Amino acid sequence: MGEIAFYQDKFVGIDEKVVPIQERGHQFGDGIYEVVRVYGGVPFLLDEHLLRMEKSADALEMKLPYTTEKIKEIIHEALNRSNYTDADIYFQVTRGISARQHHYPEVPTVFSLTVRPAKAIDETKRQEGIGVLLVEDVRWLNCYIKSLNLLPNVMAKQKAMAGGYYEAIFQRDGIVTEGSSSNLFVVKDGQLFTHPATNRILHGITRAKVLELAAKLDIPVQEQEFDINFLHQGDEAFITSTSAEVLPIREIGELELPRTRPITDRLAEAFKDLYKVKN
């Protein structure tokens, strides 16, 4: 049937006007979201995404409108209605519909969802790598919450793309944190480095799986802060996200990294094997 949408207890047309003007997600960005990749008709790592949504909701003192089991039912029904085997499922929860006020209203939270065809990454980018641009991290200090408030991320991504780069990489006081829509890894002397899972970064689902894979492949991992100089001196670097999976970095600004990426390639292949096995 094609693209599917769900809003406040019912399926609706993908272009139907359903969001009230006094929706707090619309007025304040007062909500949370997740994106799940579907491979071969199976939502990949769905339980992990739902657990992170619960943690984000708790952090914002927001009650989910449904149980996670009910959300799973809605997701699977939406996927069945779409007939897509490879898709991106986006779902979010907002604090609800209320006359505009800054403090929390006592109204029901609202769940919405879309199912669309998966956005495939150009295979040339996977083989040759991407360019990234360093930008200042001006986001709030609770980046671990997957909030709808993404304006700094949007502006950073736009700056990178306007300069001909694929992704923006944040740095805060010289410490490199993550990408505008991804997590960042650096390989140095056979070891894998990434920023620790603090409030300064999103605790990525793909990031966590890559760390598990590194352990299985006996690749040493250091979850620690590192600076711009360390990033520039890396032997390899890559980003991870639900849509990008494991994507190598070819250049950081005007600095080119080595074209051989043995550890990145191993992890990328192991990650593909992970979702192929799941299917």
Of the listed 10, 72, 125, 146, which one is catalytic? Answer: 146
* Cα 263 to the center of its chain, rounded Å: 22
Q: Which helix (H) or strand (E) holds 184?
A: strand 183-188
- Asked whether 147 and 28 are in contact (CB, 8 A), the reply is no
Q: Is 146 a catalytic residue?
A: yes
3-state helix, strand, coil in the chain (%, to 5): 30, 30, 40
What are the angstrom distances between the C-alpha of 250 and each of 101, 166, 207, 209, 267?
47, 10, 19, 23, 16
How many other C-beta atoms are found inside a 10 Å radius of the C-beta of residue 41? 14
Triad 139, 144, 148: Cα angle to 5°: 65
Triad 187, 246, 138: Cα angle to 5°: 75
- Asked whether 31 and 147 are in contact (CB, 8 A), the reply is yes
As annotated, the active-site residues are: 146
